[in-house]
Amino acid sequence: MELISPTDWAKEKVQSVQEYSLIAARAIGNLFARPRYLADTTQQADLVGVGSLPIVVLTGFFTGGALAQNSGVTLQRFGSLSLIGQLVSLGMVRELGPVITGLMVAGRNASGMASELGSMVVTEQIDAMRALGTDPMKKLVTPRVISTVFMLFFLTIISDAFGIFGGGVASSLFFGVDMHQYWSTAWQILVFQDVFMGLAKPVLFGFIIATVGCYYGISARGGTQGVGRATTQAVVASSILIITVDFFVTRLSMTMFGQ
């Protein structure tokens, strides 16, 4: 194995951050520039949104169900089983819904974007696009960013809903909790700051997924092996970033709203 000097390693990392920042900044800047690729954006929205719907519904439902089972046992011990709806609802809306949906879409779409764009790089299609007078950042990156941010927002709402529903089914099946009581407590506990926190996260996560996926795709080098490496790195990096950003957004939101 070749040894790399710490200085070169640090330079490489700083350069990666710089290149990622430039791609992210240009993706935002292009939101206000023409031409707007509406057909490409719609196609990506279909790929990200409709394509991810089954996995988001399933993971949301079962995560809510598992959360209800785990918290039900503890709550039962303290005789507070009636709070199970509140706990599942808060857990799903503030935390688990956005994070699980983000991670699922990252696994599915950040990898897809990295491999698609990576293949285009190694077969010179990106160079061909530039040579034909088209900006790949506008045609390929910006539509993916817009559609991922937009669709992840709604996918998270769906995931939250199915998570709370899954929690309700599990509570009713395993702890005999009345469904009507479950739903009314789950609904009543939610206040503006919970919904705000839960819906601010997918906007950031969607941006992370698309920009990281596109960055690794566009930076792919070294043929098919390089494309495979880019795909793996895109999933790993976007997943880590999602969880890290989640921590800070939660802290910031709690500081802002005082809870």
Partner 1 sequence: MISMSSPPAAATQAIQDISKPGDVAVEFDDVSLAFEERQVLDGISFQLVHGETKAIFGVAGSGKSTILKLALGLIKPDSGRIVVLGEEVTSMTENQLFELRRRVGIVFQESALFDSLTVRENVAFRLYEEGTVSEEEIDQRVREALSFVELEHTVDMYPSELSGGMRRRVGIARTIITHPEVLLYDSPTGGLDPVTSNTIIELVVKQRDLFKISSLLVTHRLQDAFTMGTHYFDRTENRMKPLPPHARAEVPMGFLILRDGHIIFDGDLKSLRETRDEYIREYIS
Q: Are 53 and 158 in contact (CB under 8 A)?
A: yes
Q: Which residue from 21, 124, 244, 251 is in contact with partner 1, where contact means CB under 8 A? A: 124
Based on CB atoms, which residue is closest to partner 1, 13 or 130? 130
Question: Of 4, 70, 37, which Cα lies nearest the Cα of 147?
Answer: 37
Q: Is 35 in the site for partner 1 (CB under 8 A)?
A: yes
* Closest separation in Å from C-beta 62 to partner 1: 34
Q: Which residue from 16, 41, 125, 193 is in contact with partner 1, where contact means CB under 8 A? A: 125
Query: What does residue 178 show for φ and ψ, rounded to 5 degrees?
Result: -70, 130
Q: Are 217 and 114 in contact (CB under 8 A)?
A: yes
Rule CB under 8 A: which of 166-205 touch partner 1?
A: none
* Closest separation in Å from C-beta 137 to partner 1: 9
Question: What is the C-alpha radius of gyration for the chain, rounded to an integer number of angstroms?
Answer: 21
Question: Of 110, 121, 143, 100, which Cα lies nearest the Cα of 234?
Answer: 110
Based on CB atoms, which residue is closest to partner 1, 128 or 179? 128
Q: Is 22 in the site for partner 1 (CB under 8 A)?
A: no
Q: Is 12 in the site for partner 1 (CB under 8 A)?
A: no
Based on CB atoms, which residue is closest to partner 1, 121 or 186? 121
Question: Using CA atoms, how far apart are residues 168 and 190, in angstroms rounded to an integer?
Answer: 16
Which residue type occupies 194? D
Q: Which stretch binds partner 1 (CB under 8 A): 126-134, 186-194, 214-222, 238-246?
A: 126-134
Q: Which stretch binds partner 1 (CB under 8 A): 55-63, 107-115, 121-129, 157-165?
A: 121-129
Rule CB under 8 A: which of 127-146 touch partner 1?
A: 127-135
Based on CB atoms, which residue is closest to partner 1, 129 or 161? 129
Question: Using CA atoms, how far apart are residues 68 and 171, in angstroms rounded to an integer?
Answer: 6
Based on CB atoms, which residue is closest to partner 1, 141 or 242? 141
Question: Using CA atoms, how far apart are residues 158 and 61, in angstroms rounded to an integer?
Answer: 10
Based on CB atoms, which residue is closest to partner 1, 20 or 174? 20
Interior/surface letters 113-140, b for 16+ CB within 10 angstroms, e for the rest: bbbbbbbbbbeeebeeeeeeeeebbbeb
* Secondary structure string (H, E, C) spanning 90-107: HHHHHHHHHHHHHHHHHH
Q: Which residue from 76, 123, 184, 225 is in contact with partner 1, where contact means CB under 8 A? A: 123
Q: How far is CA 81 from the centre of its chain?
A: 32
Based on CB atoms, which residue is closest to partner 1, 76 or 123? 123
* Closest separation in Å from C-beta 176 to partner 1: 54
Q: Which residues bind partner 1 (CB under 8 A)?
A: 35, 123-125, 127-135
